[in-house]
Structure 1
Amino acid sequence: MQFGIFSVGDVTPDPTTGHEPSERERIKAMVRIAQKAEEVGLDVFATGEHHNPPFVPSSPTTMLGYIAATTEKLILSTSTTLITTNDPVKIAEDYAMLQQLADGRVDLVMGRGNTGPVYPWFGQDIRNGIDLALENYALLRRLWREDVVDWEGKFRTPLKGFTATPRPLDGIPPFVWHGSIRSPEIAEQAAYYGDGFLHNHIFWPPEHTQRMVQFYRQRFAHYGHGTPEQAIVGLGGQFFMRRKSQDAVREFRPYFDNAPVYGHGPSLEDFSSQTPLTVGSPQEVIDRTLSFREYVGDYQRQSFLIDHAGLPLKTVLEQLDLLGEILPTLRAEFASRRAPGTPDAPTHASLLAASKAKIEDASVSSVSSVSSVGK
């Protein structure tokens, strides 16, 4: 089980002080948060990709490359890589470069994003969102797995004898999760390829998350990748934690009430009861997080959003310290409840080992066949 955090990189005024960080402040804060994540023992840091205010992470690989140079173990990921408006050739090259620099500590989450105006900025039409996601990802897979690609599709110019450079590290492409909140077509895509499926899980009730994950698991098995329980699942989540529950609620309320996404809507209490948002004590965060398994089954990655809505860096770092304190309990409890045979989250090392084992098995089978013919 991997635990991590993700950031959407919003630049939001602190409602309690009125301070609005500069873009530089926010970018530097995201870097410090990632470094702190490694310090407290987390496995993953993921950044969003946005091309519109009030967000700053328009170039995820630039940020993750910098973080790679200042960390040693942290897996560097995205909470969304825009497969719809980015050229798959550029994605292939940018993330292979990052993978080489980070010694394989890279995976990414493909998504369509949630900002409609981005599409025309990059020469696309939002009405083609699903078709773009399907076609662009099909090309991206080939670019990472084939040294020379001939290709023709609907949404970009054809490729003839094209080689993306650099090639993936050790011939192993970064592992891909497909992120979606509401689109079964994306869960189907993840299942078709045997990739991971990440449900953001921060705005919707558990019943919706359960339906999406179950659909992905069933389709994963349908395509012959294994049993439903062997499908690779990730969840989002969010919390605000203090030693005493009442202190957490009192401190977080103004941030919730003024948040860009859900501010000025449902009350904190209503939103917390209807979604996975947990505002309370460390034990409450532990109990709520462990409950996710009850409706999605055993899963491989849990990522939390903790640096949004204008929360100051000092507060976010305190949240990470508290998360670090409960992390051993979360790891132990998830491990003790885990069903036998549940796969681990793929890493570059595990994918490389599996590739070598497959080659060795093929070699042994070939030798056995030759020997049989000789007899």
Structure 2
Amino acid sequence: MQFGIFTVGDVTPDPTTGRTPTEGERIKAMVAIAQKAEEIGLDVFATGEHHNPPFVPSSPTTMLGYVAARTESLILSTSTTLITTNDPVKIAEDYAMLQHLADGRVDLMMGRGNTGPVYPWFGQDIREGINLAIENYALLRRLWREDVVDWEGKFRTPLQGFTSTPRPLDGVPPFVWHGSIRSPEIAEQAAYYGDGFFHNNIFWPADHTKRMVEFYRKRYAHYGHGTPEQAIVGLGGQVFMRKNSQDAVREFRPYFDNAPVYGHGPSLEDFTEQTPLTVGSPQQVIEKTLSFREYAGDYQRQLFLMDHAGLPLKTVLEQLDLLGEEVVPVLREEFAKGRPAGVPEAPTHQSLLTAARKAGEKKAEGKKAEDKKEAVA
């Protein structure tokens, strides 16, 4: 099972000091957090994609390419790649380039985005969000899997004899997760292609997450990719820890109360009871995270949000030390217990390359047998 962190890259005032970091400081902080993630033994660092204040990660591949040069084993991912407002041709080229630079340590999560004005900024209509996601991703898959593409659709100019460059590393495209909080059409899309489904359940109760994940698993099996239990599932989570749970609640409360997304709404206590947010001791984080398996089944990737709401970098790095030293080692051990043998691990470039080679060998053997049969006849 993979463990990692994701960032939305918000530039938010620290409510305890009133200080707002500069955009440059926030960007450099995200890089420092990624490097810290590798240092403490996490598997994944994922960045969002936003094109509006107060967010800074408008160019995920630029940041991830920079991080790639400063890490060795960390999987570089996105917590949203906007499949609706980005040109699929540019996505195909940008992430294939990143693949080569990072020696395959790349995957990405497709999403529609949750900011309405972004659509017209990029010449699109938010009312076409689902249709854009479906058409654009269908084209992206072809661009990565076919050397020459002829294509015509509704939302971009036609392509004639087009080759996306560079080609995917080793002929194997990056693994794709489809991220959605509330849209069954996106879960259906993930199931249809046999891709991963990431439910960023940080704002939602367990029963909603359970319905979405179960729907994806059933449709995954329906399309013949395996059993429901073999579907590739990822979940989000939010944590804030101190050795003493009372200290964690006291320190985090002003950040929660003033957070851009959920501030001035439900109380911290109500929110932690109803959603995956955990504010407390490392043991409480362990117990809450392990409970996700009760309604999502055995899954492949767990990402935590830890650097939001104005938390200073020093505090985030302290949180990561606790995560790496006291939480993730226990989670790895506990999630491995009782995990059925047929449940796959999260795909990596190497595992996808191995599967592709085996499929090629099987196809060659089948053709050889067919040729021999025809020769005998």
TM-score (norm. length: structure 1): 0.99
- How do residues 293-308 of structure 1 correspond to structure 2 at under 5 angstroms? 293-308=293-308
Q: Which residue of 2 aligns with 1:319?
A: 319
Give the partner amino acid of 1:92: A
**Is 1:360 equivalent to 2:376 in the alignment?**
no
Whole-angstrom distance in 2 between the partners of 1:191 and 1:364: 29
Whole-angstrom distance in 2 between the partners of 1:274 and 1:373: 65
Q: Which residue of 2 aligns with 1:201?
A: 201
Give the partner amino acid of 1:20: T
- Secondary structure of the corresponding residue to residue 221 of structure 2: helix
Q: Which residue of 2 aligns with 1:342?
A: 343
Give the partner amino acid of 1:310: G
Whole-angstrom distance in 1 between the partners of 2:374 and 2:86: 51
Q: Which residue of 2 aligns with 1:161?
A: 161
Q: Which residue of 1 aligns with 2:112?
A: 112
- How do residues 69-88 of structure 1 correspond to structure 2 at under 5 angstroms? 69-88=69-88
Give the partner amino acid of 1:30: M
The Cα RMSD (Å) is: 0.8
Give the partner amino acid of 2:244: K
For residues 15-37 of structure 1, the C-alpha deviation after alignment (integer angstroms, 9 at most, x for no partner) is 00111000000000000000000
For residues 300-334 of structure 1, the C-alpha deviation after alignment (integer angstroms, 9 at most, x for no partner) is 00000000000000000000000001211110000
Q: Which residue of 2 aligns with 1:183?
A: 183
- How do residues 107-256 of structure 1 correspond to structure 2 at under 5 angstroms? 107-256=107-256
Whole-angstrom distance in 1 between the partners of 2:158 and 2:372: 46
Deviation, structure 1 residue 267: 0.2
Whole-angstrom distance in 1 between the partners of 2:361 and 2:189: 30
Give the partner amino acid of 2:343: T
- Secondary structure of the corresponding residue to residue 178 of structure 2: strand
For residues 253-307 of structure 1, the C-alpha deviation after alignment (integer angstroms, 9 at most, x for no partner) is 0000000000000000000000000000010000000000000100000000000
For residues 16-68 of structure 1, the C-alpha deviation after alignment (integer angstroms, 9 at most, x for no partner) is 01110000000000000000000000000000000000000000000000000
- Secondary structure of the corresponding residue to residue 315 of structure 1: helix
Deviation, structure 1 residue 367: 2.6
- Secondary structure of the corresponding residue to residue 302 of structure 1: strand
Deviation, structure 1 residue 368: 2.9
Give the partner amino acid of 2:353: L
Whole-angstrom distance in 2 between the partners of 1:252 and 1:149: 52
**Is 1:286 equivalent to 2:286 in the alignment?**
yes
Q: Which runs of 5+ in 1 are unaligned?
A: none
Give the partner amino acid of 1:206: A
Bigger CA drift: 21-30 or 354-363? 354-363
Deviation, structure 1 residue 86: 0.4
Whole-angstrom distance in 1 between the partners of 2:279 and 2:34: 22
Whole-angstrom distance in 1 between the partners of 2:217 and 2:53: 36
Deviation, structure 1 residue 364: 2.1
- Secondary structure of the corresponding residue to residue 202 of structure 1: helix
Deviation, structure 1 residue 373: 4.2
Deviation, structure 1 residue 144: 0.4
- Secondary structure of the corresponding residue to residue 69 of structure 2: helix
Deviation, structure 1 residue 371: 3.6
**Is 1:9 equivalent to 2:4 in the alignment?**
no
- Secondary structure of the corresponding residue to residue 5 of structure 1: strand
- How do residues 253-268 of structure 1 correspond to structure 2 at under 5 angstroms? 253-268=253-268
For residues 177-229 of structure 1, the C-alpha deviation after alignment (integer angstroms, 9 at most, x for no partner) is 00000000000000000000000010000000000000000000011111000
Q: Which runs of 5+ in 2 are unaligned?
A: none
Whole-angstrom distance in 2 between the partners of 1:37 and 1:306: 11
Deviation, structure 1 residue 337: 2.8
Identical residues among aligned pairs (%): 82
Whole-angstrom distance in 1 between the partners of 2:149 and 2:359: 24
Deviation, structure 1 residue 339: 1.6
Whole-angstrom distance in 1 between the partners of 2:375 and 2:84: 54
Deviation, structure 1 residue 374: 4.6
